Structure 1
Amino acid sequence: MKSKKVIVVAGVAAAVAIAGFCLLGGRMPDRDARVTPEPSRQPAEVSDVLPTERGALRNGPVERIARIDANRALQDFLTLKERAERGDPVAQRELSEQYGRCLPVNYNPHKYLGGVEAIAALDKDPANAARYRQAAKDQLDECAVVDGGDVVPLEARSLWLEQAAKAGDLVAEARVNRGPEMSYRGRQLEHFMDRVIASGDPLALFEMGQNLASADVGDVRRYADVAGSEMAFYAWGIAACDMGLPCDQGSEIMVSLCLNTTACSSPDFETWVRERLINADDAARLDRQVEQVKRLLPGKG
């Protein structure tokens, strides 16, 4: 394998956040849906940011992205926040994603761009560096309208995500139950896999694949052949793309990977996996796992 590191998919850029509070009187739900968390002034690392958490502002290749209209972006954000506060689980998860993306950006926009420029300056591929710079600039523009560009409270991402998971959003449920302390186990994990597969939701499949990368195959005996390894995640991800999840250059997934890895020139997720993460000896194994995953999907068995 070219890499032994699983790409943990959950927002864009692992980083820091400080508090602040929501613009126009908005509020975050806490775990008991009663008390708004106190803002924190201490930065903290955010390690579980996922490439799929890109929001809905980008469609199409990075070099053809129209510049973000600030007024439209602000209205979209306020509408999303209103839907989330009314209890829409998809909106709650998307708001969590947007807060997650803006944690590092709004903490210190100048430092954020300075870091981007320092990385881009080391890139020997000018076209790739240009895409990386543009993706970062687009994210900066997007985050400028999130709560007026204020520093994002550290709790904002996690609490909205938990709320979405409780309300039944499968993507949020996968993210909340990722990691050694909160992961589903045994029949609970198998049951979750059953629900995700039955849903036919390609994004939920992509997210679930990340959970399965580190799953104990003894917990998912019926799915043991497509769990317990990085290859399993790659296979679920590629199958999700084939089901219709946008995975081409300029999609939410690929822009996130661009920002997280500075690899901004791959035409799609599958190419990125095959060219950067596996070697020729692993290609046939990946092909087999993708086919195994597809046979599990609705109408494919």
Structure 2
Amino acid sequence: MAAKRTFLALAATSLALAAWLTWKPTSFPAHTAQAETSAHEPAPPITAGSSQRPDSTKTSPQRAWFLALKQRADAGDPASQRLLAQAYDRCMYINPNVEQYKERIQRSIRSAETEEKATVLGYLLQHALQECAAVEDGAPIEWEDMRLLYAQAAQGGDLPARVTETVFNPQPALSKVQAAALLEEVLASNDPAAMFALGDAMGEFFGMQVAEPYTALADGELAGRAWQVAACRMGLECGPESPPASRLCLLQGWCYEGTFEQATRRRLGTDAEREALDRRVEAILRAMPPAATLSRALPFEAWG
């Protein structure tokens, strides 16, 4: 049981769909693209050079954001429940071990191969410390609390949370037909957060077994990254300080200045791989319903 919980915890961390930073959702009514847009506004910027601890965040913008988010989640708003779960996920391993976490990242900064990586790591470390000091006043977070919030959000109809549940509950595995139905629902939703969550789920399993006509959109190691980049192109906030980009650095060591897509492309080894990624992203976008594709020009403030 302990081993299973450890595996699922690592899976949850890799899904922080939201990642490590900048989550300040507003109210999220029913299940529409407009609701998803308003649910993910950027959190307050960090204070430069500061590493706030819980006792210094009682009245901080981050603290106000957290309290407002928790109030909406407690009121039963599914998207807010997911966003709160993601905040818990980002801070679950930081809050009980702030100094150890800090030292681990600082060691990475000292041993960074480039000045660029050291700079990005240092900034993101301060951001993570400030956010997590505001989440539950920096207190330890229980796995069960995070897990329950994801389940409640999924039961309430939040599509990104439902996609995330495919990793939390890998047994029984989705059949190819069920996986195709889920993929089709994500495509039809015009929901960049759901698209990114699907990419995360595929990344966990190096692709997904999906029935036709969607087999090619979910097969192989590039599938997950392609869905994530497609979500960014659909309007998900994927800038240099966004959760997708910051997670690449803090969890995977891909520390580059630039957007999530730019960092992903730099990480790929060859031009052929980058061209293959582009082809897969365009195939995903072409598979979306016309109404969803037309809305690609609309702005999304899509990470809380």
Please give the TM-score of this superposition, normalised by the length of structure 2.
0.76
2:23 maps to 56
CA–CA separation in structure 2 for the residues paired with 1:249 and 1:161: 26
Partners of 1:92 and 1:161 within 8 A in 2: yes
CA–CA separation in structure 2 for the residues paired with 1:184 and 1:221: 15
SS at the partner of 2:213? helix
CA–CA separation in structure 1 for the residues paired with 2:48 and 2:185: 35
1:277 maps to 268
CA–CA separation in structure 1 for the residues paired with 2:47 and 2:221: 32
Deviation (angstroms), 1:220: 2.3
**Bigger shift: residues 139-148 or 264-273:** 264-273
Letter in 2 for 1:207: A
1:137 maps to 126
Q: Alignment partner for residue 206 of structure 1, among 196, 201, 209?
A: 196
Deviation (angstroms), 1:182: 5.3
**Bigger shift: residues 64-73 or 191-200:** 64-73
Deviation (angstroms), 1:228: 1.9
Partners of 2:49 and 2:126 within 8 A in 1: no
1:290 equivalent to 2:281? Answer: yes
CA–CA separation in structure 2 for the residues paired with 1:296 and 1:64: 42
Partners of 1:202 and 1:245 within 8 A in 2: yes
1:253 equivalent to 2:244? Answer: yes
2:146 maps to 157
1:187 equivalent to 2:177? Answer: yes
1:77 equivalent to 2:66? Answer: yes
Query: Which digits, 9 at most, give the CA deviation of each residue in 1:263-301, with x for residues without a partner?
Result: 322412222222213422323322221221111112149
User: Which of the two has greater helix per residue?
Assistant: 2
CA–CA separation in structure 1 for the residues paired with 2:215 and 2:239: 29
SS at the partner of 1:47? helix
Partners of 1:59 and 1:65 within 8 A in 2: no
**Aligned 1:22-37 pairs, distance under 5 A:** none
**Bigger shift: residues 264-273 or 98-107:** 264-273
**Bigger shift: residues 87-96 or 262-271:** 262-271
Please give the TM-score of this superposition, normalised by the length of structure 1.
0.77
RMSD: 2.8
Q: How many residues align?
A: 258
What stretches of structure 1 of length at least 5 have no aligned partner? 1-39
Letter in 2 for 1:249: P
What stretches of structure 2 of length at least 5 have no aligned partner? 25-40, 295-304
CA–CA separation in structure 2 for the residues paired with 1:188 and 1:113: 42
1:239 equivalent to 2:206? Answer: no
Change in 2 beyond 3 A, CA 1:63/1:99:
closer
